[in-house]
Structure 1
Amino acid sequence: MVNADAVRNIVGICGNIISFGLFLSPLPTFVQIVKKRDVEQFVPDPYLATFLNCALWVFYGLPIVHPNSILVVTINGTGLAIEVVYLSVFFAYAPRPKRLKMLGVLAVELVFVVAIAAGVLLGAHTHEKRSLIVGSVCIFFGTLMYAAPLTVMKRVITTKSVEYMPFTLSFVSFLNGICWTTYALIRFDIFITIPNGIGTFLSSAQLILYFCYYGSTPKNDKSVELPVTASDDSNN
């Protein structure tokens, strides 16, 4: 007889590997920034959002909040460290106004995470209550992060170009969503199921758009954005 926990662990490990690849997907962009010593028109918004999302999921997966979630902690802890590196590079080469804006947003995020942690640990005294509070917050921000590619999808439809929506990223995001949704369903965890289920749906929509517009003659669009990762959702 197949052990459900063993299968869940295998799926979770696969999810960790795929999510790690997603966290590293923006690396070429930051290599470009370092080489040019300039962030150009790129913005740190997706990475600030991923930083907050990872921090919340790390807290959710801790034994004092939601026991037996070590795989959630490991991948989001890794993602958190990677986002710190990305934000450090951006800070090093961004002009002063962008630096100040980034620091302001980061400060608000840190205060928010600390407030959530303090409130939960002091006000909720069971794993069930802590999981409910932190998990609900994670659903909200995880869903927002998964919804970020909607702007890229709109651009694809408007410009008829898939330049800012690489197939590999969309496909890996789809696999990531499938993995973590499966992981959550084996030992039902609604807080992981909802954002990753939404992520799977949106990644599927991206793949459909890609095949619809691949090879189409693009309209002119001079604006530039950072590629958006599905982080974490990659971030679970």
Structure 2
Amino acid sequence: MLRGALHRHPDGAGYARGEDTRARIVAAALKLFGERGFEAASTRDIAAAAGVNAPALRYYFDNKEGVYLACAEHIASHVWEYMSQVVADAEQVLAENESHDALIDAFCAIQGRVVDFMFKSQDSLEWQLFIAHGQGGQGPAAGFHIINNRLNEPISSVTTAIVGRLLGRAASDDETRIRSMALSGQLAVFQMMRRTALTSLNWDKVDAERLELIKRVVIDHTRAVLHAMIIGRSPT
């Protein structure tokens, strides 16, 4: 149920204190849910990690599911804040029927923004673990749907529309969707298999120079594939 994920505000001067407490609980829960999964992370452990007692957790979130849904909302809102402008720019390119090159630039700009978030955000690794559990079917399904509906769908709808425009196919066409997902999937190795990727590259970390290399290679691949789509597009 979503009720537990809603804010409960103390009255008057206690508001700021209450928001701080709530934020600490969410931060602690994100870490523990990411490390242990929904079932293994107890409300007692979450409360202890946040420096509050169990009744405080229940006051703000009702139960563990309420905390979990608040974590999903936190991720969705913060990542969308980071991504929203580049997605809006791509939507404008589509709406104005701009050139193929402009469409490709818009798709690549979204990918570049995702890569930046993955490696520049201090929270990204923790959040990726949380999301990975949801992708594996762990935790309340409502948490997956919050992230999918508020974050994944708005991004994928615009990238799929771009691919469809370049292919000469409908955005709803299965091939269009698969091609769009395949292009976005290039990032998965650095997102969900980061340790494997770094080990294969003999890197101990991703510094600014290495980040730019990752972005350049991914975007070069994407441009090549998108240009090939134009050449092989369905006749109109």
Q: TM-score range by the shorter chain?
A: 0.3 to 0.5
Q: Which has the larger radius of gyration?
A: 2
* Greater RCO structure (CA 8 Å; 6+ sep): 1
Q: TM-score, normalised by structure 2?
A: 0.33
Q: TM-score, normalised by structure 1?
A: 0.33
